[in-house]
Amino acid sequence: MPAMVPAEVPGGAGAVLPVAAPDSRSIGEDGLKAAQGLAEKAGSTALLVWHRGALQLEWYAPQVRPFDRLPGGGLEDALMVMLTGQALKTGLLPSIDTSVATWLPEWKDGPRARVTVRHLLEGSSGLDAPAEPPGPDAAAWTLSAPLAAEPGTRFQPSAFETQVLGLVLSRAAGKPLPAYLGEGLWQPLGARPATLMADGKGTGAYVHCCVEAAARDWLRLGLLVLDRGEAGGAGLIPVHWLDEMLRPVPFSRHDGWRVRFGWPFERQGTVQAKEAFADGDTVFWQGREGARLTVSRGQELVVLRLGPPVADWDESRLANLLSRAVTTPPPDNRKIMSRGSSTELPPITKPPPVPKVETVPLDPLPANQ
């Protein structure tokens, strides 16, 4: 019996993503060419650039077609975190501070019962991956994981924690993970069908790696963050969940729930960058297998790079190159939320004069007080 077999994640026809016409792009041609050149030099398979409501660049390596299903390269973490937010919204998860033993009763009588959903999101579960390679029973393999540190005391985000999270979500939903992922997140995003690896028994799934989807559909994860959890005009992920996801964890000011922050810039810090990000609100998903998904809400910029890992990859270089190549200034009425349901700010005007204030002294206290 094989350890892994492909399984379909249900999707749709693929919601249309607007593409900027060459004469109406908001990022200069030289900047886009330079970004493409950087992607090619790094051996990338795809580079997509979204800015202010439209695709500015969609480039693929010669052997790749636009709707080929491409490996997420480590973006499986983002996928499971966002699916967890959707599960919380619909009530499948009562709280992220609930013990995972609620859905993994095999752990209820041991120290692993102290692991919570929050620990899995933060990367502080203390779990190590099983020493044995994945087998034909994904649940049995996942549940065999040893606890190497007290939950909440060791910061070591791992792909295996994403695997445990997938098992929790599948059991909470009462259905196979491919079906729940398609129903809860993938189809509402407007994505086409994707592929993940199920176990040989056909009852479990492996999501610590190997999810494959069209590049445009991986990009939709960034658009979901850009649009404050909305997709297709409907709220898919709670705003408060996104805010929590994008808040630094107690262990690192450059890490949220499987997402990294470009600010503050530290030349010798954990973010490998030669200079600060041009947009201080930049966040990015740093896939272990080479993928990068970068979002700046202030710049309305989303950049997706798929391809193999690059040893000396500079995290800020591509984002800064594109940000500095922006040619179209933002409109007077800037939207602060999603397209189609935003609150608009009025144009910036000269502030009113500071009012004059008359200072009136307090009456003295009575002598007996």
> What is the 8-class DSSP label of residue 99?
B
pLDDT band at 353 (very low <50, low <70, confident <90, very high): low
Q: Give the contacts of 87 (CB within 8 A, at least 6 positions apart).
A: 93, 169, 172, 173, 184
Question: What pLDDT shows up at residue 232?
Answer: 87
Dump pLDDT digits (tens) for 187-234: 999 999 999 999 988 889 999 999 999 999 999 999 999 999 999 888
DSSP string, 5-38: EEEEE---S-----B--GGG-SB-HHHHHHHHHH
Angle between helices 76-89 and 215-226 (to 10 degrees): 50
**Judging by beta carbons within 10 Å of its beta carbon (0-12, 13-18, 19+), is residue 132 exposed, middle or buried?**
exposed
Q: How far apart are CA 120 and CA 245, in angstroms?
A: 12
At 205 the pLDDT is 95
For 99-114, write each residue's pLDDT tens digit: 999 999 999 999 999 9
Residue 294 has pLDDT above 70, yes or no: yes
Per-residue pLDDT of 135-159, as tens digits, reads: 999 999 999 999 999 999 999 999 9
Residue 162, pLDDT score? 98
Q: Say whether pLDDT at 364 is over 80.
A: no
Domain extents in the chain? 4-323
- The amino acid present at 32, given as its one-letter code, is L
How much is the pLDDT for 338?
A: 38
> Which residues is 70 bridged to in the sheet?
213
Distance CA 44, CA 38 (A): 9
Distance (Å, whole) CA 156 – CA 153: 10
What fold does the segment set 4-323 form as a domain?
A: Beta-lactamase (3.40.710)
Q: At what angle do helices 76-89 and 159-173 cross, to 10 degrees?
A: 30
Sign of the dihedral defined by the CA atoms of residues 84, 87, 92, 94, in that order: positive
E strand segments, the chain:
4-9, 46-51, 54-60, 70-71, 194-199, 205-206, 212-213, 230-231, 234-235, 260-261, 283-286, 292-296, 301-306
State the average pLDDT for the chain.
Answer: 90
Using pLDDT thresholds of 50, 70 and 90, give the confidence band for residue 330.
Answer: low
Contact 293, 75 (CB under 8 A): yes
| Residue 181, number of CB atoms within 10 A of its CB | 29
Per-residue pLDDT at 47 exceeds 90: yes
More confident site: 2 or 20: 20
Per residue in 260-276, pLDDT (tens digit) is 998 899 988 899 999 99
Average confidence (pLDDT) over 119-127: 98
CA 99 remoteness from chain centre = 23
pLDDT at 306 over 60: yes
